Structure 1
């Protein structure tokens, strides 16, 4: 019970303890509207009745605490295809594109961990957040990898394989173009002219990507597209953090990585794939609008959590702390 915990902490001379329940307070639609009848008020009322102080139903990104808003994708589908078909068109198209390109997803070895930090630092520079030092990644590995609870993933593509696929596609298109031109020479029709135009457009696109691939050769034979830290936890799989190299955005590496984990959820019987925190702000000017637009494509659910509670253990000292906080706030506002 809460009182038993409080009594134990009092023996340790603790002033207060912070509780951040991982439980759904309310569900929301993908555009942020409340799902009627989804509120679970009981836990909040119980904690407040026990003397807890609620830090508020906040929005935004606060790296000092756990997210209060989460984006989760239920994985109760009959097949991977049914799950893929449930996604938004752009999302499912990007997953198929990654597969067509030959993007593969694998687990990193311990020696490859610096790649994770490099990828996250790069993502942090783009989205204006700071990544932890490499000691954090190492500690996660040491604490959880042997038990299989954590995976460090990379999505990558071999340039030779990719260009080989493009060359094969180009050969097929040229053969189709020759056959179509032969048909037009015999019977000129609008349908065949439109088909020829479509083939020519596809050919130009493939040639463009072949030329682009040549510019990547200096980066090495294997391009690292995206990386992620994934936990198997309870009834879900959680993507704690992920990042990608925007130079290779065309290959859809993040989509390939998350699709691999979604299939893992389905195969292993996990109830959901948790893409973790969002700001809870749904306008175009939200701090995470770009990231949320990506997550939204998986057609998941928005979970609003209760947030942070402070439960006093030593009421006198805790009251003094609150006074000090108020004075500090006044001093900051007047300075």
Structure 2
């Protein structure tokens, strides 16, 4: 075996064949290079065969040093002790030669599979991985729960697409979710991709989510850079509704209900004592009034906010294995149009068309307690699509220059 820098083609061939995260990709590498950001491709080869591959990001840290991070890497069999020891031992030498202060690794290794309620359905062996990395100086940062600006979420909400048709996926969703998706179709909710010059529309809706959940993570330039980095492997989409179209649909409904009402009224005149007809007429009258109310409310909304309402938006990234639902937002004023449900359904179908195995709703806190969870609404929303939970092993950190790292930690505390 030999540790070496990989060509982009060697790296790409390996991560395309082996299950890997979107950040371990050609698109990520080429995007960072185009932006003059520090990025490295390293791995292990046996002859011409690649056994391990890793995309590493570098950044200046503590004046004279560099900090290195691999997001969901390296891509390798972390249960192969010989390979793990060989890779990480040589990685240390590689990074020390590049003035490394410390390195953070976040392997794409699953610890547990859980159901949507947080109950473990399958536990996977990870103690051997932690022990091997510990012997190499990598400190496991523990099984964190919740969100942190210092690390990625450990819990992913994932929908299995394997060998399923769109009809299968819809049928397996919770009734409420399936009903809401169908309602968006009936109302005429649509989705479109946002070009670069309309990214502000996405960001405006994203900021509404920030305000709602009281957090602030990224600015508009960060999202523009992300979209540029991943190029054709990124989509920024937005759901919307044309109120003129919606009013047309409501008026058709009203005409249909009116025709049914008039038919029931005529039939009742011929059979005045028929109780079922009386009930039917009353129900149809009630239904007509409900549609008339919707028409009036929609006319008011159109007059106040315009003909087209922007409902929800999100940025998605995909590779050969998964489609990832990353950052999103929606306008709470228009919740009744359920733009987020329509967006998820359209993108689930897109992922299925690509032949991907997983639709990754991405992070949840991992706190499934109704009383303490900061995102129980989000957890339930994703669960409604029949998503399960993929709990990751978490982060490992290794000081590369121990004296400098110790000083760095002391300075951070001040």
Q: Give the alignment's TM-score, normalised by structure 2.
A: 0.75
Quick check: 1:198 aligned with 2:286?
no
Q: Deviations over 1:213-265 (max 9, x none)?
A: 12321222111000000001230000111111111111111011110111011
How many angstroms does 1:131 deviate by?
A: 4.3
Runs of 4+ in 1 over 6 A off after TM superposition: none
> Structure 1 residues 125 and 37 mapped into 2: Cα distance closer, same or farther (>3 Å)?
closer
Quick check: 1:312 aligned with 2:399?
yes
User: How many angstroms apart in 2 are the aligned matches of 1:92 and 1:40?
Assistant: 36
Q: Deviations over 1:253-298 (max 9, x none)?
A: 1011110111011111000111111000112231111222211111
Higher relative contact order (CA 8 A, sep 6+): 1
How many angstroms does 1:77 deviate by?
A: 4.4
Q: Deviations over 1:111-133 (max 9, x none)?
A: 11101111111111111111422
- The structure with the largest strand share of the pair is 2
Gaps of 5+ in 1: none
Matches within 5 A, 1:1-335: 1-145=87-231, 148-187=232-271, 188-217=273-302, 218-285=304-371, 286-319=373-406, 321=408, 324=410, 328=413
Higher mean C-alpha deviation, range 192-201 or range 128-137: 192-201
How many angstroms does 1:196 deviate by?
A: 2.5
Contact 1:226 1:253 in 2 (8 A): yes
Tell me the SS of whatever aligns to 2:368.
Answer: coil
Contact 2:111 2:123 in 1 (8 A): no
Tell me the SS of whatever aligns to 1:70.
Answer: strand
Contact 2:126 2:393 in 1 (8 A): no
- The structure with the largest helix share of the pair is 1
User: How many angstroms apart in 2 are the aligned matches of 1:206 and 1:2?
Assistant: 65
Tell me the SS of whatever aligns to 1:25.
Answer: strand
Question: Aligned-pair RMSD on alpha carbons?
Answer: 1.8
Higher mean C-alpha deviation, range 183-192 or range 158-167: 183-192
Number of residue equivalences: 325
Gaps of 5+ in 2: 1-86
Q: Deviations over 1:69-98 (max 9, x none)?
A: 110111124421111010001100010000
User: How many angstroms apart in 2 are the aligned matches of 1:91 and 1:52?
Assistant: 43
Contact 2:206 2:328 in 1 (8 A): yes
How many angstroms does 1:32 deviate by?
A: 1.1
